[in-house]
Chain A
Amino acid sequence: MVTDPAGLVMKLDRRYFLTLVSAAIGSPVLAVGENSSDTTALFLSAASDSDDQHWVIGFELVDGKSAEKFRHLLPARAHHIAVHEALGVFVVIARRPGNYLWVGDLHSGEPLAEITVPVDRHLYGHGVFSEDGRHFYAPENAWQLINGDSGRVVAWQVSRDSQGFSMVRAGDFPSYGTGPHELLLKPDQNTLVVANGGIRTHPERPREKLNIPSMEPSLVYMDAVTGELQEQHMLDAEYHQASIRHIDQNASGQVVIGMQYEGEPFDSAPLLALHEQGKPLQLLWAPEPQQGQMKQYIGSVRYDRSGRFFAASSPRGNMISFWDVATGEMKKSLRSRDGCGLCAIEQGFLFTAGSGRITQYDLVRDEIEALNTGSDGKVFWDNHLSMIAR
């Protein structure tokens, strides 16, 4: 027989894990996020409702409840929301193959602008601001290029002043691959890290994957100003169908990668990896049965505030797993029906689910709290959750 799967919920060396977590969270050296209290944080997510309307929703946490601050109707389904605190704006990025960027005011939630990309392009649902707020970067598909690498990274010049808000296309670079998805700016603000999913799609067949047998995902480091390629990392040939889709980084610039495997459902394939620039990819495996329960699909990855742990959501497997970066080991898994959106908060993570649930997990106390979502009408939270401390 193979491994005994009787331990359906990961049995941890709980004391060891909690000691590690307490030490990490208490260490200011490792702090990644803002230190202000989450009671004043604003969380943002795209969501849909049962009438197939699509929204951007901002909410706060108040006394163990989510308190909705605003919601606005969107032209179509969205994916991720990029925020910039100093500018006081958020940008909702259309889900593939959408073409809009919907800009709102962080404080009022009111719309500031709706921008569309050129007709021969579409977005991939992700984008990121530079730290100074002067630039915004988003991957696009130059879908008319049906043979070569159609992935692009577009740099936008951003300004918000007394004249209003503006975003202007300022640079258009190759992503050095196909199907670029999530991207981020390294802490030095000079280098973009791009997850090229490797999957070719076409807006006329919007959800169809056209090149699964030959797909070549990659993790790319490129100059944020010139677009010049710095590094490109591929998976071994046997794992070429593991689409590199979602990434996050900690303060030291280490990148965590979440993948979606397009091969057979029973194949043993990596779904997570860590990477430091200049080094090879470090593939991570959960023990069974958790690896199998991920159903070959990671929907989002986020570091905790210490940067020593990360969470990975598996909405198809209804599971969120928590990992220790130092050892590369999964330390805990939690059931979360259709859970996908992740956000680091004080002491742990907040996660949202397609079921409409919002749940808080305290890493230090190892406690889960399902938040009362009030009576604002049920929504299905989309894949990603963003936060800004106010």
Chain B
Amino acid sequence: MIRFDSVFKRYPTGREALAGVSFQIERGEMAFLTGPSGAGKSSILKLIALIERPSRGSVVIGDQNTAALKTRAIPQFRRRIGVVFQDHKLLPDRPVADNVALPLIIAGVPEREIDKRVRAALDQVNLLGKEKSLPLELSTGEQQRVGIARAIVAKPPLVIADEPTGNLDPALALEIMRLFKRLNDVGVTIVIATHDVHLIEQFPSRRIVLGEGRIDAITPPGARASTPNAGVTP
């Protein structure tokens, strides 16, 4: 589903966020990107969602080599990826239902179907009945669940999440993680960037540990992944 080959990412500021990262995540897998702040977790997610392009190396999502993708084709590409943010990125002046419906509206799904699918998505995150609330009327945990509902409403085969539990207390964080696990159980590929190692100990999934733009370790070791030093320039 996701393959990084010797990926380098240097930002215009000169900061090198990724220095030769290679890994592979299979379809239907759930994987955690961990490591301290600035290790390159967010950069990897941005490269997956095509918010950034790699400076060097190749990123293949699905069967699509992202380097071959023209700017014009990016919107269509992003519709097949659900993205969850630490700060939710909800539209504060729109009710929950409109926020969740946004990807469907953008994709031009007919109205009747939108209602149905929005309710189904809200049901999955246990927020049925909150359709008309504004995001700010909800708790942080609920807002995060609205964000997840928005990410899954268009049934993308891949969902990526950047520190989805960053602002939540441990109980809420666990609940959100279980929600991702349930999604994964129905076949969605999930990639979650988090620094909360204690939380993910409870989930026996692939772990890609980053440090200073390189991969320090990939567990379980049986997983297919290349060594961190592949293609690294001195």
A binds B: no
Residues of chain A touching chain B, judged by Cβ–Cβ distance below 8 Å, are none
Residues of chain B touching chain A, judged by Cβ–Cβ distance below 8 Å, are none
